[in-house]
Structure 1
Amino acid sequence: MELDEVFRYLGNWGRHQTFIFIFMNIFCCVFPGWLTMSVIFFTADPEDYHCTPPEGYYPNETIPGLVDGDGVDRVDKCNMYVVDNEGIVTGNLTTCLNGWDYETTVTGETTMITDFDLVCDKSLLAEIAASLFMGGVLVGALPIGQIPDIVGRKPVFFVSLIVEVVVGVGLVFAWNYYAILVLWVLAGMFREGLFATGFCILMEMYVPEKRALVGSLLNVIWGISMTTLAGVAYIFPNWRHMQLFMSLILLLALPFYKLTQESVRWLISQGRIEEAEDVLQYVAKFNKISSPPKRFLQELDELKLVNDQIGDEHKTNLQIDDDTKEVHKTTKGGYDKLYDQTKETNQRESKKSYENKYDALEDEKTNTKLKQHTFLDLFRTPVLLKISMILFVNCFANSIVYYGLSLDSSHLAGNKYLNFFLLGLVEIPAYICAYISMEKVGRRLSMVVTLIIAGVACIITACTPETTDSGESLRPLIITFAMIGKFMISYSFAVLFIYTPELMPTVVRNAGLGLVSFALRVGGVLAPYVIYLERVGKYLPLTILGIISIVAGILSILLPETRNRPLPETIEDGEKIYQTKAIPRERMLSIVPSDFDK
């Protein structure tokens, strides 16, 4: 039987699958989500601040007042009056000679800005700090994405978790700005090992008709992560205490190390059939399901046996000429004979499937060993090259728009903790709608429509004046379109996380996820600087974000549909992805234990 049919036999939502789903949702989504978005609180501007007056003076004596563009009286945050040697306050201005006094939302609140006075002429340093965590994820995306395809998903996940704990605790005790930047880059690098690898484990564990549901639930959990982060930040207003809590809580994963298993798809892609069989037997026992009379992967065992025989022929004959070609022909004939003897009652389509796997493995065999693939294989064939480039643009667009809108949320009036909670809350219905549309109309159309609407909403938000000519406020309209933009880009993000692994062959899937994650982090790194352009023109940031989103939506039209299609396993499968047909619904529902007796 096909591997997806083995997973159906074991139960799509068996005890083991449910455990792994909950475990990975917590440790590759909720907690890493906190680590990722906490930078918004760590680098948030204080409620207000002004220069610390000289000893013996009050702020209203030494701090000048200003009238801003809205006609509102405000205190000058970056200058103070000079006090001469005789103690007289002059009318001359100088910079804040004694530091700053900060007003915060809640008692005991501290941020990187208050710790290191990253205000006024140092305000750009706060933007750099906000972008460097994503910079670390960007730096780690390709190597962290490649390593799991070589050594496995499970070891990379747990090593990344331990490093996150060590680096996170180091951040708590670092009182040098540049030391914090270095540690933040490291935290970003290994956060990718948690999120991307854990996500890959989940997606490879489920059959095609369940992947959209699993990915959508994962996105809903991300929305819950965002809403709960607001509560965590409120409980721990001191950013160092918050960082310590978020780091140490990751240690709760270690007792479950033995209960997590390596990805069966990855083991098979590496030719480690025995280990893959052991994992499947373990899952059957965990789920209290009786193992079939024959091994789950008996067809692959036979394929591996024949492949080894081919390798022996290569070793003894060593020459590629007409005689060698005849040996190959004879060997494959032996395989057909062996197949007919052992699988007489198998369906014709199953035989054809395994013959195709035979051909793919034979082609990829070099010196009797399976070839190790890298992300460069995504650029060596025309179809995968086109798909990879479009995904790269899509990921960049989703990331820069999502993080840009999140950072721009400070323009919403009110309590920042409540605002962040509401912004997280609006994502949850978006993810639910994404699942419904992916199941009804497919991945491609869902991606195209949501990116274009998000882009239009951003441009309308940017171009709408705050008041009409008659003085009527248009702020509610601006906020409405901003929320539509956030809803749609969250919707698009949900589709993206399902769509991307479905387009990548198993042999390079984690490397491919690392590549697109690289594009995601480029967007995350640049988002703070795009928002910074508001100082040049208030309409610029969201207009730029809107154009990027619309372009990505138009390019998505060129992608293939993957709804209910089997995951591509080899590079050859990836090249034929436009011809892959959907699995008939009756076949999805017809896998019963007796199928394994055939």
Structure 2
Amino acid sequence: MEADLKLQSLGKCGCYHTVLFLGLGLIYLRGAWHVFAPVYLAADPGHSCSVPNTTNNVADNNFTVDSCTVTYYQDINNSVIRSCEDGWQYGSQFQSTIVTDWNLVCDEDYKIELSTTIYMIGTGCGALGLTYFSDKYGRKKLLIVCLLIQGFVGVGVAFLNGFILFTIMRFFIGLLNMGIGLTVFVMITESYQASVRTIPSVGIQIAWATGIMLLALFGYLIRNWRHLQLLISLPNFIIVIYVLFLPESLSWLVANRKYREASTVLNWAQQLNQHTSQIEERNSWNGNESCIQEQDVEPVDNYITGEIKNSIHDLFCMKNTRFYTLVIIYLFIVNSLIYMGISFSMPVLHGDIFLNLFLSGLVEIPAHIICMFVITRIGRKIPLMIFLFLCAMSTIAAALCPSSTESGISLQWLKTTLFMISKFAITGSYATVYLYSAELFPTVIRNLAMGIASFFENLGAVGAPFIIYAAKKMPIIPVIAFSSATIIGGFLVMTLPETNRQPLPQTISDTKSFTTHKSDINRNSHLITEL
């Protein structure tokens, strides 16, 4: 817990924290662009079969055109239905999308969902494969590498001329996007002392919501998918420049015994926050001031004594971490499944595709604001349970609510309201789960643990399109899946320890304090001053 003691010497919120939060917030914001870009990159502006070459006059009643077929009438009782042999005509809402460029309609429309599924698989691979390098080599190095590669790949996508290459490149964009997003979130979590960690850790999610709203604006202003892809990719190169000036995570440096670098970061942070009275304390590490004058200490493989051993085995080597990991994995799957299911449904609801996505992001902001203050004062467990149960109840209520009364009065506004409540609740739950999981796992394997949980999180995201597709034939399926999953999740949360106002564990053995010192923490929690 040494890193948290050093963070306390920086104060609760100063110039250092503000610079770090804004810088990392901008990185987190751009991540939403790549997730929801298919809403516009793969938008269908409306299509119908082109008029057959045999005539330019559709009014002669020899044939009629539909979205996917042409019906030829030989006489009043005989007709022949054929596919759109002469191609399609598209609406004018967009200048171009991958749908209009590559004719991804009718029998080919499944490719749009397939591309999104492949992207989600990529994010899962990124969560599992990249986070290890963040724990081993540092948060900042991984950020720089991933941002640069994603920038080049994203720009390349704008010049592709085939669906297969587009899907492959989107896979790698997703892989890199998850590595960036998880690393940013972990850095935010590790940069604040325990008593004030909640607000920045949840507040960073407002940047994500802002990113969704900005994408709606970009999509409205830029109707060419290639130009839009360039717009969301080029900022990576600008972001890399200021990432070079951001400090490495102090918690990571301390956990990996890089005391010399940690002292430099702490010194810089102290100067920014003008806490000059802490000079003596900041140069003392483990009671040995001379250690920062020596070479950085190499870790020894012994997780019990607090040394570093970054492997998946570490998550399951002790009973408590094993149980935490399994529960967190389930919660990530549930939250991702429902969040993505609702988010991807909203833009295609009745209404404007740009306004709907904007509102989808806007509704998340009050959810995060309320979440920040509730979980700061009450804790993590109770609000998370309430969010999950509220999502279940509003989902069931929306399904049971009729579209209109017997007298013909429309109740669509009520169904939409209940739908928005579900989005509000799952957003609050999602934000809480991210913070909760980051606090449960120790620094030496935090990014690895978050990566594994996020791998399963993306399995939930992959499943969302299939449930939505199944709902076209059986509307009750999403209700059963979403409500039952959140109810089970709510009861599982009851078995987890409370982490509010506790220092971040640095080693796996530190997680024992959640249970062995729980009564002491509860007894003394009122002594900790909140923001």
TM-score under structure 1 normalisation?
Answer: 0.81
CA contact (8 A) 2:303 2:309 kept: no
Q: 2-side partners of 1:273 and 1:526: how far apart?
A: 44
The letter of the residue matching 2:482 is L
Q: 2-side partners of 1:545 and 1:111: how far apart?
A: 32
CA contact (8 A) 1:64 1:79 kept: no
Moved more, 415-424 or 37-46: 37-46
Partner SS, residue 101 of structure 1: strand
Aligned-residue sequence identity (percent) comes to 29
Equivalent residue for 2:34? 35
Alpha carbons of 1:410 and 1:271: their partners in 2 closer, same or farther (altered >3 Å)? closer
The one of 67, 70, 82 aligned to 1:80: 70
Alpha carbons of 1:402 and 1:589: their partners in 2 closer, same or farther (altered >3 Å)? closer
Alpha carbons of 1:362 and 1:524: their partners in 2 closer, same or farther (altered >3 Å)? closer
Equivalent residue for 2:343? 406
Equivalent residue for 1:213? 199
CA contact (8 A) 1:15 1:286 kept: yes
Equivalent residue for 1:179? 165
User: What per-residue deviation string (whole Å, max 9, x for no partner) do you get for residues 470-491 of structure 1?
Assistant: 5443322211211111111111
Q: 2-side partners of 1:578 and 1:406: how far apart?
A: 37
The one of 373, 384, 390 aligned to 2:310: 373
Q: 2-side partners of 1:212 and 1:128: how far apart?
A: 37
CA contact (8 A) 1:62 1:81 kept: no
User: What per-residue deviation string (whole Å, max 9, x for no partner) do you get for residues 501-547 of structure 1?
Assistant: 01111111000110111122111111111111122212323432222
Shift of 1:282: 2.3
**Are 1:190 and 2:176 an aligned pair?**
yes
The letter of the residue matching 2:492 is L
**Are 1:532 and 2:469 an aligned pair?**
yes
Q: 1-side partners of 2:381 and 2:290: how far apart?
A: 37
**Are 1:576 and 2:513 an aligned pair?**
yes
Alpha carbons of 1:142 and 1:534: their partners in 2 closer, same or farther (altered >3 Å)? same
The letter of the residue matching 1:457 is S
CA contact (8 A) 1:501 1:513 kept: yes
Partner SS, residue 298 of structure 1: coil
Equivalent residue for 1:255? 241
Equivalent residue for 1:296? 282
Equivalent residue for 1:10? 10
Structure 2 unaligned residues grouped into runs of 5+ = none
CA contact (8 A) 1:141 1:189 kept: yes
CA contact (8 A) 1:63 1:76 kept: no
Q: 2-side partners of 1:442 and 1:63: how far apart?
A: 70
Q: 2-side partners of 1:83 and 1:470: how far apart?
A: 42
Moved more, 494-503 or 402-411: 402-411
> Size of the alignment, in residue pairs?
522
Shift of 1:58: 4.4
Partner SS, residue 564 of structure 1: coil
Partner SS, residue 112 of structure 2: helix
Alignment of 1:53-202 (within 5 A): 53-55=51-53, 56-58=55-57, 76-82=66-72, 91-104=79-92, 106-108=93-95, 110-202=96-188
Alpha carbons of 1:365 and 1:532: their partners in 2 closer, same or farther (altered >3 Å)? closer
CA contact (8 A) 2:3 2:254 kept: no
Question: What is the alpha-carbon root mean square deviation over aligned residues?
Answer: 2.9
Q: 1-side partners of 2:86 and 2:387: how far apart?
A: 50
Alpha carbons of 1:124 and 1:580: their partners in 2 closer, same or farther (altered >3 Å)? farther
Shift of 1:587: 6.6
Shift of 1:111: 2.2
Alignment of 1:518-529 (within 5 A): 518-529=455-466
Alpha carbons of 1:536 and 1:64: their partners in 2 closer, same or farther (altered >3 Å)? farther
Equivalent residue for 2:434? 497
Shift of 1:303: 9.3
User: What per-residue deviation string (whole Å, max 9, x for no partner) do you get for residues 302-323 of structure 1?
Assistant: 2996xx9xx99xxxxxxxxxxx
User: What per-residue deviation string (whole Å, max 9, x for no partner) do you get for residues 60-115 of structure 1?
Assistant: 567977xxxxxxxxx7311103499xxxxx831100111111114x352x322222
CA contact (8 A) 2:364 2:427 kept: yes
Equivalent residue for 1:486? 423
